[in-house]
Chains A and B, each alone.
Chain A
Amino acid sequence: MRSIRRNTAAAVVAMVLAGAGCSASPTKHLTPPAATDQPAKGGTLVIALAGEPGCADWLAPCGTVQTGFTAMGRPTVPRALDFIDGQYRPTAVLAGEPVVTGGPPQRVTYRINPKAVWSDGQPITSSDFRYSWDQIVNGAGIANRTGFDQIESVDDTDPRTAVVTFKVPYAAWRTLFATILPKHLLDGKDRGGEMKDGYSWSGGPWMIDHWTRGQEIRLVPNPRYWDRAPNLDAVMWKIIPDTAAALAAYKTGQVSLLQALPPEATAADLHALADTRLDVATSLGVSWVSFNTQKPPLDSLAVRQALAYSADRDAVVSQVLGPIKPDVKAVQSWTTPASARWYVEPFARYRPDPAKVTQLMAADGWAKGADGIWAKAGQRAQFELLGSTAKSNQLVRQILQSQWKAAGFDVSLADAAPAAQADREAKGAYDADISGFAFPSDDPGRCAFLCSRSIPSAANANSGQNITRVADPALDGAWARVDAEIDDARRLDAVKVAEGLTADLVPGLPFAPGVATLVYSTARLAGPVSNNVPYPFYNLNEWWCRGGQC
């Protein structure tokens, strides 16, 4: 599974702030799009990019900032399946649907499209599947090994057929092989070193022309792409970290598309702009507060539960999203309501309850000091809440800080850039932070975030995304069952148990559903499709400039 960590700005801007129409009205047309005209070739599309990744090695922690993967990774790195419109579909890399034999052992056979080639003309083969699996399982500096560590072998005897055999049944097999790397170019080399500043190869419709850090990323069509060739001559991602500057750049026509509704803008502002369209689509992401369960005072279960009972999450979501979406509610599990068939609500038990807070804290030996803050054996109930400099992120943290302070917790706020935040999370160098994840599918497996084997540590070179560092055998078992249960009905039962156990342990506090927003000029651009995947650029090769110029 490749779960992409959203940078915090994107997480809160795209998931939280831009949560308009989370479920009721997936798309808002400020100006009705013209649907009758035909795609034209040529033109350069300029998109504002809020944050760039630390590196372009998409397997490494420094490459997990989603905006970076969206800009460079997804258009250039081939994958086996896409999750679009609620269904998994084979990408152009495959010749058809993968064939699954339930086993045991469970086997998945991927038939590779004979036309699929890398940008140097070499065919994409089963050896690339095998190499990618090997890198993820055995390579250095891997962000997430979940699922791949359940694979027994990848048979690459037939270059056009990759046969994946699992050690145990693995229900989320469709989420695997979302990043296929070219063995013939990387084998025997330092993958991270080769890829960190960008790479010249591609197995997708686009190639990286250049990445000038802090400035821009330019993509050009991959001339050897075997499927639908891009309409555009180039896509330029202008790196504009300041949301006000990005909005000004959009208003003045210097960029044609914003990935998220800037906090400075409202739908009314956009109405004032001619030919502007705001797409708001439900995404599969969730935003939550992560607690570092191995650092005091958050290593105390009572403290975490008390924090959960002190937070009015509906109020947080309402205050941030209210002006746009009055009826939005807090998320009550690690799964977003958009994943309707798997969504359960174990966190609904955590409503503001001062009496419960007092009871939990007192039972754990805490007493309020003269300053109104809980203390125990000379230790005050204080911690730092980390997040990005995005205004919406700051607002969420300020509201939580205020709520928790009223309940007797001393919370300070700290800002970090996305890459730095990811680095601190991976090293456990934080107390609590606002995390956002955009899941690539509706699969309910969350072992990557909640199983002890996914805790990043020095021993595993900071692999894994369990940044809460929760380590509980029962929780491990419950989430492992979710991964292993093939039957949907029984899997839902497993999800209920695992989500319930997670709510008991409170390694974090989910609060906002995910949405994806796009703001773009219909006068200049056509092609974007709203859907519930977190990658609105999945069909970027079909986009086109009206009049040949975006």
Chain B
Amino acid sequence: MVSFVVRRIGWSLVVLLVASGVMFVLVRATTDPLSSVRAASATGGDSDAVASGRLVAAEQRRLGLDRPLVAQYGHWLGAFVRGDWGQSIVSHRSVGREIRAKLWNTVQLIVWGIAFSLAMSVIVGVASASRQYSALDHGLSGLSFVALSMPSFWFALMSIELAVFVPKRALHLDHPLLYSVGLHSATGGGAFDYLRHLVLPVLTLSLPLVASWSRYLRSSMLDVLSAPYIRTARAKGVRRSRVLRHHALQNALIPFTTVSAIGIGGLFGGLIITETIFSWPGMGQLLYNALLTGDTNVLLPWLVVAASFVLACNLVADVMHVVLDPRVRL
């Protein structure tokens, strides 16, 4: 088991290295760290142009952009590993510091989103599978398809209207039951206030996950429930709930872990919409602003962090797979 985990970590690092190289090349190919300096050099008279040309050359030398791409990558990677992630072009602050601050906010959203999505998916998936073709199954399946086809931004806006505005107006409340801006209130704090800020963004982030994961778990459960050993267990008199919990669900979760891990990795993409609508100061907002402002220094570290997150999720999935299915160890 230990050697398996070590081997997988090793491979993950290799993949991360390759991914970082590809991202480095792509970012360098599509953005220019000296774009503003170059653009500035296109203005002014001849003497200014000469001065600006010198400035561009000096900046190229200072940043090592006059060296071969491989050497640039090596230099960047070395600095990245040492924790020197450069400085934001816009805020002139350390990119590492910016990402750390935003990552913590995003991690909170993701952790709660995953926990909620997993719990709801298992409940919905098991309920649907255990009562196949019943009204409950049809109802849950229909809701899943609605959730899958509903754009996240629309759900977010509707949730603000229906869960924040309407109750406040209908009940004549001084403050809304749920909040739609930021992580905490200006005056308040504490767990309850935090929870009231968390509900809507977590719901928005989780909705497509719950919809797809529950469908997958339902199928997986149905496959397992039709297996001979389940019929044998039932024939031996094992109670239905025990069969579902100990025999069906445990086996159905094996493929589900892989699917959910990939889905968790993909959460980074959905963060942009969620964080923008709910003014949640996280990684999604950071990427959006970096793209908007052309802050190339933020882009590459952001992408590497996102890739690391995806790889970490896959690693966890692999380990979970081994834990849940001992045959993989063989």
Contact = CB atoms under 8 A, between A and B. Distances in A.
The SS class assigned to the A binding surface is: loop
Given A238-B182, A419-B90, 19 more contacts: A196-B92, A196-B93, A238-B279, A244-B277, A245-B180, A248-B164, A249-B279, A252-B160, A253-B168, A254-B180, A420-B292, A423-B36, A423-B89, A424-B39, A428-B43, A430-B39, A458-B40, A458-B51, A469-B43
Given A240-B279, A458-B52, A252 B90 contact: no
Interface string B125-141: 00000000000000000
Contacts of A420: 90, 292-295
A28 interface: no
A253 B175 contact: yes
Contacts of A236: 186
Nearest to B102: A214
B48 A457 contact: yes
Interface string A130-166: 0000000000000000000000000000000000000
Interface string B154-186: 000100110011001000011110011111011
Interface string B174-211: 11100111110111000000000000000000000000
Contacts of A254: 175-176, 179-181, 185
A258 interface: no
A113 interface: no
16 contacts: A54-B92, A55-B92, A196-B92, A197-B93, A214-B102, A214-B281, A215-B281, A216-B182, A218-B186, A239-B279, A242-B276, A244-B157, A245-B278, A252-B176, A416-B294, A458-B55
Contacts of A238: 181-182, 186, 279
A344 interface: no
A427 B294 CA distance: 14
B285 interface: yes
Contacts of B173: 253
A417 B289 CA distance: 7
Nearest to A455: B44
A459 B52 CA distance: 9
A417 B180 contact: no
Nearest to A274: B169
Contacts of A214: 102, 281, 285-286, 289
Interface in A207-231: 212-216, 218
Contacts of B175: 253-254
How extensive is the interface on chain A, given as a class? 35 or more
A295 interface: yes
A419 B181 contact: no
A495 interface: no
Contact of B281 (A54, A212, A419, A549): A212
Contacts of B281: 212-215, 239
Contacts of A549: 174, 187
Interface in A376-395: 389
A94 interface: no
Contact of B43 (A241, A253, A294, A417): A294
A540 to B, nearest CB: 15
B74 to A, nearest CB: 29
Contacts of A429: 35-36, 39-40
A280 interface: no
Nearest to A430: B39
Interface residues of B, number: 50
Nearest to B278: A245
Nearest to B186: A236
Contacts of B293: 416-417, 419-420
Contacts of A54: 90-92
B186 A234 contact: yes
**Which interface residue of A197, A249, A389 has the most chain B CB atoms within 10 A?**
A249
What are the 5 tightest A-B residue pairs by CB atom distance, in nearest-first order? Answer: A429-B39, A420-B293, A236-B186, A294-B43, A428-B43
B192 to A, nearest CB: 16
B30 to A, nearest CB: 16
Interface string A435-471: 0000000000000000000000111000000000100
B115 interface: no
A425 to B, nearest CB: 10
Contacts of A55: 91-92
A293 B44 CA distance: 9
Given A252-B180, A253-B176, A459 B165 contact: no
B165 A251 contact: yes
Interface string B294-329: 110000000000000000000000000000000000
A212 B93 CA distance: 13
A205 to B, nearest CB: 19
Contacts of A240: 181, 279
A215 B294 CA distance: 21
**Which interface residue of B48, B180, B293 has the most chain A CB atoms within 10 A?**
B293
A245 B36 contact: no
B37 interface: yes
A117 interface: no
A292 interface: yes
Contacts of B43: 292, 294-295, 428, 469
Contacts of A44: 186-187
Interface in A286-315: 292, 294-295
A215 B36 contact: no
B79 interface: no
A275 interface: no
A191 to B, nearest CB: 13
A387 to B, nearest CB: 12
A470 B277 CA distance: 41
B101 interface: yes
Contacts of B39: 424, 427-430
A245 B102 CA distance: 20
Contact of A389 (B182, B185, B292): B292
Given A213-B98, A253-B176, A427 B279 contact: no
Interface in A61-115: 62
Nearest to A242: B276
B42 interface: yes
A15 interface: no
A338 B59 CA distance: 45
A46 interface: yes
A238 B285 CA distance: 15
A242 B279 contact: yes
Nearest to A296: B42
A55 to B, nearest CB: 7
Contacts of B180: 245, 248-249, 252, 254
A417 B89 CA distance: 13
A43 to B, nearest CB: 8
Nearest to B105: A215
Contacts of B295: 420
